[in-house]
Structure 1
Amino acid sequence: MTEDKHAAVQPVNEAAVLEEVTALCDLYEKALMDNDLDTLDALFWDSALTLRYGVGENLYGIAEIRDFRKGRTGGSPKRDVLRRQITTFGADCAVCDLEFQRPGAAVKGRQSQTWIRTAAGWKIAAAHVSLMGTSH
């Protein structure tokens, strides 16, 4: 197996970057559970290129994401985070993946977010939320 010649160019999980992104992922989870639309909106990249694939919707661009959140009565269903993994790549890109379970639900859910550092700070450029199904 050959060594990845790009690995040294983009350090993985540099402590300071990981700390920044971890704090933002914590803030996101709190805002989601509190249905704090202003904070949720501020954490997403303000771009037509931002996307969010949800359990029952595909949202393209920040306008669709904002409209979805505003129209979701009561906000996101409550959930418990079971496991979270954050990986940073260099100083400007990170991913946050987590498993969650809603109280009383038998099925687990998954969430992935791609975070990028912009002129306005760290923002979510892409997100995907899904519930576990049976394979095949």
Structure 2
Amino acid sequence: MDIDLPDVLAEVTAQFERYEKALVSNDVAVLDELFRNDKRTLRYGMGENLYGYDAIMAFRAGRSPAGLNRRTDKTVISTYGRDTAVASTLFYRESAPGKVGRQMQTWIRFPEGWRIVAAHVSIIDEPKDPKT
């Protein structure tokens, strides 16, 4: 299996960056587009477990657009073959000092393009050791 093919890595990185821009600007249309429209798509959030595209769309539609700015760090995007990728990043918000957010997404290439099929978001206390 080919891991991190440069062209595939560039494609997924561009979609991840598009997602991040849409997230902080609350561009719900782009966020909805980038999640796979399928009942098996899931998103585990900070206070919700969303099963299926419709539940994810409803969450996005009802979420407040306030306080979405964040800074990402230690983003790792890995591709496996030409059609599968995992994107992981840490994020920080000024509104949550001493906390670090963690986000992971599984991306799959479909005929309509790269789509997230699973996502997990959580927040923990910032580790004392910067290596962790």
Q: TM-score, normalised by structure 2?
A: 0.91
Q: Which residue in the other structure is 2:106 paired with?
A: 114
Q: Which residue in the other structure is 2:10 paired with?
A: 19
RMSD across aligned positions (CA): 1.6
Say if 1:32 and 1:76, in contact at 8 Å, map to a contact too. no
Q: What is the number of equivalent residue pairs in this alignment?
A: 126
- Give the letter aligned to residue 124 of structure 2: M
Long gaps (5+) in structure 1: 1-9
Measure how far apart 1:75 and its partner are: 5.7
Q: Which runs of 4+ in 1 moved over 3 A?
A: none
Long gaps (5+) in structure 2: 128-132
Question: In 2, distance between residues paired with 1:66 and 1:45?
Answer: 11
The DSSP-based 3-state class of the residue aligned with 2:57 is helix
The DSSP-based 3-state class of the residue aligned with 2:21 is helix
Q: TM-score, normalised by structure 1?
A: 0.88
Q: Which residue in the other structure is 1:7 paired with?
A: none
Question: In 1, distance between residues paired with 2:34 and 2:82?
Answer: 17
Q: Which residue in the other structure is 2:82 paired with?
A: 91
Measure how far apart 1:72 and its partner are: 0.6
Determine what percentage of the aligned residue pairs are the same residue. 46
Question: In 1, distance between residues paired with 2:48 and 2:21?
Answer: 22
Question: In 1, distance between residues paired with 2:36 and 2:18?
Answer: 15
Change (3 A) 1:61 1:37: same
Q: Are residue 132 (structure 1) and residue 128 (structure 2) matched?
A: no
Change (3 A) 1:47 1:75: farther
Say if 1:32 and 1:40, in contact at 8 Å, map to a contact too. yes
Q: Which residue in the other structure is 2:130 paired with?
A: none
